[in-house]
């Protein structure tokens, strides 16, 4: 029975604004997506699928990029929405798939140990059918609500009741695949995460696991610069025997 990792890399990066999608940009001499792939490989997945932007998949420039990506077993064309991309990825999973891990292609700081922790949680508790990575909200949290007057009402929320939902998201393949067959992915307009489909299935047990480290997502151009500095900081922190006296 296989554990399959899916790297969601079919976004075209409109907010990033570069000539090529952000996941294929270089970060400290390594493609952003390659950090994610390496973390999944180190976590012990058996098979790796990568979704790609449809308009790049057949282009000459994309061929060179695909050839330089290491560790992928199968490339799949993404859909017009995240829901359709997830469906395409599920269709590409081998028949003997037991667990499937969905990972954003633009989270280069994710550690393999956290992916393994999420997977082990699913394996060790048969009642749990999905595990989602979360982080605590440290800023103040407000909701903006429409009002009959036409104005918007700003309401302060208790941040302890909420989490930032991030990847990886780990699923029992049989469960998520049945939901896909019910076309429930299509019922959600541009879902931010795969697990949002369980809004329709509150009786299915899931789990949140907090990620304590940096799980920065490359969204804007300046994020690439920030990520480069974060990586340098981590490397400096690991230099235990450096002498900085004076």
pLDDT digit string, tens, across residues 148-169? 777 888 889 999 999 889 999 9
200 belongs to a structural domain: yes
**Residues 97-155: tens digit of each pLDDT:** 999 999 999 999 999 999 999 999 999 999 999 999 999 998 999 998 887 777 888 88
At 242, list the tokens. Answer: 């450096």
CA atoms 66, 82, 5, 34: torsion sign: positive
User: Smallest Cα–Cα separation from 67: which of 15, 20, 24, 108?
Assistant: 24
Q: Cα–Cα distance between 63 and 60 in angstroms, integer?
A: 5
Q: Cα–Cα distance between 55 and 75 in angstroms, integer?
A: 14
User: What pLDDT, on the 0 to 100 scale, is given for residue 15?
Assistant: 46
150 belongs to a structural domain: no
244 belongs to a structural domain: no
Three-class secondary structure of residue 161 per DSSP: helix
User: What pLDDT, on the 0 to 100 scale, is given for residue 200?
Assistant: 84
152 belongs to a structural domain: no
Cα dihedral: 67, 68, 70, 73 (round 10):
-20
Cβ partners under 8 Å of residue 202, min gap 6: none
Bridge partners, 100 (sequence order): 4, 171
Cα dihedral: 81, 163, 200, 167 (round 10):
40
For the stretch 35-49, what's the b/e string if a residue is b when 16 or more beta carbons lie within 10 angstroms of its beta carbon? bbbbbbeebebebbb
Burial class (CB in 10 A: 0-12, 13-18, 19+), 215: buried
Domain harbouring 199, CATH code: 3.90.550.10
pLDDT averaged over the chain? 86
At 161, list the tokens. Answer: 């009741």
**Residues 191-229: tens digit of each pLDDT:** 678 898 888 899 999 999 999 888 999 988 888 888 888
The total number of structural domains that make up the chain: 1
pLDDT band at 242 (very low <50, low <70, confident <90, very high): low
- The most confident of the ranges 38-47, 173-182, 195-204 is 38-47
Q: What percent of the chain has pLDDT over 70?
A: 85
User: What pLDDT, on the 0 to 100 scale, is given for residue 19?
Assistant: 60
Query: Residue 71 above 90 pLDDT?
Result: yes
Cα angle, residue 4 at apex, residues 114 and 125 outer, rounded to 5°: 60
Residue-range definition of the domain harbouring residue 75? 2-135+163-237
Where does residue 85 fall: left (phi above 0), alpha (psi -120 to 50 degrees), or beta otherwise? alpha
Q: How many residues does this entry show for the chain?
A: 246
What average pLDDT does range 22-26 have in this prediction? Answer: 89
Q: Would the pTM of this model clear 0.75, i.e. be above it? A: yes
151 belongs to a structural domain: no
């Amino acid at each position: 029975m296989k554990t399959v990792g899916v790297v969601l890399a079919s976004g075209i990066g409109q907010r990033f604004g570069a000539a090529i999608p952000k996941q294929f940009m270089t970060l400290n001499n390594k493609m952003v997506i390659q950090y994610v792939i390496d973390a999944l490989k180190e976590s012990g997945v058996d098979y790796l699928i990568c979704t790609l932007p449809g308009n790049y998949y057949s282009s000459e420039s994309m061929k060179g990029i695909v050839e330089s990506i290491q560790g992928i077993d199968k490339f799949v064309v993404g859909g017009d929405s995240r829901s359709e991309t997830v469906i395409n990825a599920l269709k590409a999973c081998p028949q003997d798939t037991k667990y499937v891990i969905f990972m954003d292609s633009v989270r280069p700081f994710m550690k393999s140990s956290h992916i393994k922790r999420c997977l082990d949680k699913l394996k060790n508790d048969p009642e749990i059918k999905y595990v989602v990575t979360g982080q605590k909200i440290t800023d103040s949290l407000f909701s903006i609500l429409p009002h009959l007057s036409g104005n918007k009402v700003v309401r302060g929320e208790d941040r302890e009741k909420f989490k930032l939902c991030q990847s990886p998201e780990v699923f029992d393949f049989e469960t998520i695949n049945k939901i896909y067959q019910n076309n429930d992915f299509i019922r959600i307009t541009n879902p931010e995460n795969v697990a949002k489909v369980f809004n329709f299935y509150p009786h299915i047990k899931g789990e949140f696991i907090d990620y304590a480290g940096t799980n920065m997502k490359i969204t804007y151009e300046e994020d690439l610069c920030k990520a480069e500095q974060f990586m340098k900081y981590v490397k400096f922190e690991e230099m235990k025997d450096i002498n900085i006296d004076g």
